[in-house]
């Protein structure tokens, strides 16, 4: 499979999982946490599908299209190893949804950061919250969710915080 085809499958899986998560969190209050702004496409999609929710975005630096950058109150800049453990200082309520787009292409680095993120997300999520991620990072506090039709296992991942 070409890198272009792989990219398209990943992006479609990402969109379909996020759209599915909207249904999962329909009765849960709280903001959205977006780990990885990148070029802002996913943040822009989250604004569209969850217009009533605050979205707090974490990234090392801003490299997004100017129309897809959160305001200063919702953009948390810095290394995730430093910003995520202290996120409750900036995120005012437990989140209903966390989207984690944290992969780097390096399997060992991905496993390490996914384990770190999983450990620290636990304290930031409301009971019943959904987690959507490009990396496997199952936690005992989370139950796996069925992936949307057409999303191959391992392409993207979904869990729900046990109530």
Q: Give the distance between the most distant pair of CA atoms in the chain.
A: 44
**Cα–Cα–Cα angle for 109, 94, 35, rounded to 5 degrees:** 30
Residue range 25-61, pLDDT digits in tens:
999 999 999 999 999 999 999 999 999 999 999 999 9
Phi, psi of 63 (to 5 degrees): -135, 20
The pLDDT value recorded for residue 161 is 97
CATH number, domain containing residue 40:
3.40.50.150
Domain that holds residue 68: 3-161
- The single residue listed with the structure tokens 């990148």 is 38
β-strand pairing of 125-133 with 142-144:
unpaired
Residue range 139-159, pLDDT digits in tens:
999 999 999 999 999 999 999
What is this structure's pTM? Answer: 0.95
The pLDDT value recorded for residue 114 is 94
Please report, for residues 16, 18, 50, 69, 124, the alpha-carbon distance to residue 45 in angstroms, rounded to integers and kept in the order given.
11, 9, 8, 12, 22
Look at the chain and report how many structural domains it folds into. Answer: 1
When pLDDT is averaged across residues 64-72 and rounded to a whole number, the result is: 94
């Amino acid at each position: 499979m070409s890198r272009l085809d792989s990219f398209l499958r990943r992006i479609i899986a990402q969109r379909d999982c996020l759209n599915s998560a909207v249904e999962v969190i329909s009765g849960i209050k709280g903001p959205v946490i977006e780990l990885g702004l990148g070029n802002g496409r996913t943040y822009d999609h989250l604004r569209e599908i969850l217009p009533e929710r605050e979205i707090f975005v974490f990234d090392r630096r801003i490299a997004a299209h100017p129309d897809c950058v959160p305001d200063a109150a919702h953009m948390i800049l810095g290394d995730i190893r430093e910003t995520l453990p202290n996120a409750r200082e900036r995120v005012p309520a437990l989140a209903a949804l966390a989207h984690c787009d944290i992969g780097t292409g390096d399997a060992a680095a991905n496993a390490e950061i996914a384990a770190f993120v999983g450990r620290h997300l636990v304290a930031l999520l409301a009971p019943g919250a959904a987690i959507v991620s490009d990396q496997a990072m199952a936690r005992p506090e989370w139950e796996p969710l069925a992936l949307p039709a057409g999303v191959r296992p391992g392409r993207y991942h979904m869990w729900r915080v046990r109530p």
